[in-house]
Structures are given as C-alpha cells and as structure tokens.
Amino acid sequence: MKRKLYQYGILLGLLMSVSACRKDMRLFDKDVRSTLEEFGKQNPETKLQVTTRLGNFTIQLYEGTPLHRANFVRLVKGGYYTDLFFYRVVYETAIQGGAEWMYRLDYDLPTEVDTSKFRHKRGAVAMAQYDPSMNPEGNTSASEFFIITNAEEARKFDGIYTVVGEVTEGMDVVDKIKEARAFNEKPVDPVKFSIRILE
C-alpha cells in the first residue's frame, strides 16, 4: 500500500511539474464570453504559422467564429501552443493536437456552428469537444483542435463541431503528419508543434 501511494505521489509530482511548464492560461471565475469578446477587439489577428519537424503550414482563422478566433489567438500569444504534440491520428479523417487532459483549461466555449458558411472540408480546422457525459451542453474544448484530412469522412461532423479556420498553405505537411505510424490512434512518434502569429 505504501509503495502504491509512493508511486502515485511520484506520478502526481511529474504531472504537476509538466503542467507548471505550460503557461497558465486559465480564466478561473472570469466571464468567458465577455473576456474573449474584449480580447478579440484588441487582437484582430487571423493568420497563424504552425511549425513542425516535418515542415510548416499556415492556418487562416475565420472572423465568423469570433469567440473561437479570439480564444485561439489568445492561447498562441500566451505561448500555450508551444512544444505541444499532434497526439492523435484518426485514420483517413483527421489529425488532432493541442493540450491533452493534463493541460485541460478550466473553461470551455459555446459552439459557434454555422454550416451555411463553414463546413468540415479537407484542411478545415475545428475545435474538439469533451465526452458528452462530461459535457452535456456540447460546448467546445478551449484548446484541443483537429485538422480534416478527408472531407468525405468528415461530413458527419457538420453541425456538431465549430470550424474555426482552414489550412491555406502546407497541406502536404498535414498529410505527412497523418501518415505517422499509430496504435489505437496514438502515434508511435508524435509530431511536436508550435504556433506563432503571422498577421
């Protein structure tokens, strides 16, 4: 029993130390909507560059999803998307990256779904959602995103997930990432990435 507690303590300590390395971007008890609306007014950027060991690609964020755009820019500017991983490869559908559960933020976002404007096409960037049992409102993860690699497979996502932007350059790099050898959707050698603002 003591050994198990000791091992648990070591694991908890490691997780806490790893989390401490990630810049704290939580909003605690702030009103998420008003905070992001105000941040969005002050930070109008929409163009991002994703850097990986396999090459770089560009994301254009949509102004039509203002809360999600502001949130994405806020996390990029805050250094949150530095040295994270594309930790999931969904066969012939998408790659997923961002912050896994140990980095989960203390807030989520209301969906901004508009299928008349934004659909899950190849290259679309959308925000993930947590398990429905933990998220009955269907809100959006504040930090986890996925990139569609096959539009035919992704049409079922329309009307559920918020599409926040699209890859405008470097889709060949995304395709390289999706080819990573994976077991149960977990890459054996996950690709690290960082994101910076272009304009």
For residue range 137-163, list pLDDT tens digits in order. Answer: 889 999 999 999 998 988 889 999 999
Q: What phi and psi, each to the nearest 5 degrees, are found at residue 68?
A: -70, -40
Q: State pTM to two decimals.
A: 0.86
Are 57 and 170 within 8 A, CB to CB?
Answer: yes
Q: What angle do CA 138, 140, 145 make, to 5 degrees?
A: 135
Handedness of CA 120, 124, 126, 128 (dihedral sign): positive
DSSP conformation class of 162: P
CA distances from 42 to 11, 19, 61, 99, 117 (A): 40, 28, 16, 25, 25
Query: What was the pLDDT predicted at 155?
Result: 86
For residue range 6-39, list pLDDT tens digits in order. Answer: 444 443 443 344 444 456 899 998 999 999 999 9
Q: What phi and psi, each to the nearest 5 degrees, are found at residue 192?
A: -80, 150
For residue range 41-55, list pLDDT tens digits in order. Answer: 999 999 999 999 999
